[in-house]
Amino acid sequence: MKYGLILTGCAGFIGINILFKLNNDILKRYERVISIDKLGYATVYNRELYKELCNGLNIETLNINLLETSNHIKFSKEFTWDIIDLASNSHVDKSIENPYSLYEENSLITSRFLSAFEDIKSIRVFYHISTDEVYGSLPLNAKKSIWFKTNSLLKPSNPYAASKAAQDLFLLSMKHTFNLPVCIYRMANQIGNFQHPEKMIPASCLRAYRNESIKIYGNGKNMRQWTPVDITADIIVNKLNNLETFDVLHIANKNGLYDNNYIIDCLKDTINQNTGLDPKIEYINDRKGHDLCYALTTTKEIDKYFSDVNIDYVLSSVAEFYYLKKDELK
């Protein structure tokens, strides 16, 4: 039996952090390891690092759009395949600016990707990365009793979230109909290094370092579970290493539920302490359809990973990373 591993979307924020966690002890079980990424705009600052990491791990890279996978390669049924699937356009603001193209691309990615397999029965495990946004919005300061559960109704309220729900539902239908071994991760807002500067934390850091105001949507009271991406990557790689299976698993820092005002205040403080800068805050018109709160229920196993998280330390570390990167990021 020959075994192969396929990674999709690993030139992006979460994917790069997963590549850091992979090692030869895990990869030596595979005769072929392939990373597929279209190298879109969100990977522009990570591309050289991505190439270095893949070369160092002897990972074959295919720089193609998953929508066109079946035109370029067929994944042989002679292999037994494990998959970590991260490929998506992931920026809510861009999905609001151009909802049709983003929804169309994201919703079709998984079906086009699967069509490139000679036989989907050759897939041993398919780890798919999804988001808490598929559930829609909770009230602010929601009690834990109503936090989203893994069987909560999907009620996406922006085009990006709808496109991710479409991926989830297609894969679950394939699981039900064809026994596709799908395991879905739904994860909270990730915070860490190598995130594209369009996202809130890196954008705020870079604005501060340019002596510009940090911008906050609406009144800043929208709440998210801020979750360190390096710990999330640990969980995903450990699950792969042990070939653990599940239906849906939530990854979130259960003690990391903060509103944007709190996060930006902490970020301002650490930037001031480290650089002497005192960035101003500018409240701007709220995002259309801005969800108030996401909060995921998590298992005790997942909670153990995040038991020692200190959000101030995490923000300080991330702010330092973007300070060192400020001259090359736009």
Residues designated catalytic: 132-133, 160
Distance CA(87)–CA(70), nearest Å, equals 16
Please state, in angstroms and rounded to a whole number, the distance separating the CA atoms of residues 36 and 83: 11
Q: Which amino acid makes up residue 327?
A: D
**Nearest CA among 285, 283, 286, 251 for reference residue 264:** 283
Is residue 3 within 8 Å of residue 82, measured between CB atoms?
Answer: yes
Dihedrals phi, psi of 127, to nearest 5 degrees: -85, 115
From the centroid of its chain, how far is CA 231?
12
CA angle 307, 311, 312 (to 5 degrees): 135
Give the span between the Cα atoms of 236 and 22, in whole angstroms. Answer: 10
Q: How many residues does the chain have?
A: 330
In 3-state terms, the chain is what percent helix, strand and coil (to 5)? 45, 20, 35
Pairwise CA distance, residues 71 & 54, whole Å: 23
Distance separating alpha carbons of residues 148 and 106, to the nearest angstrom:
23
Q: Which residues contact 273 (CB under 8 A, 6 or more apart)?
A: none
- Would you say 221 and 257 are in contact if contact means Cβ atoms under 8 Å apart? no
DSSP state at residue 310: -
Which residues are 79's β-sheet partners? 2
Strand partners, 62: 36
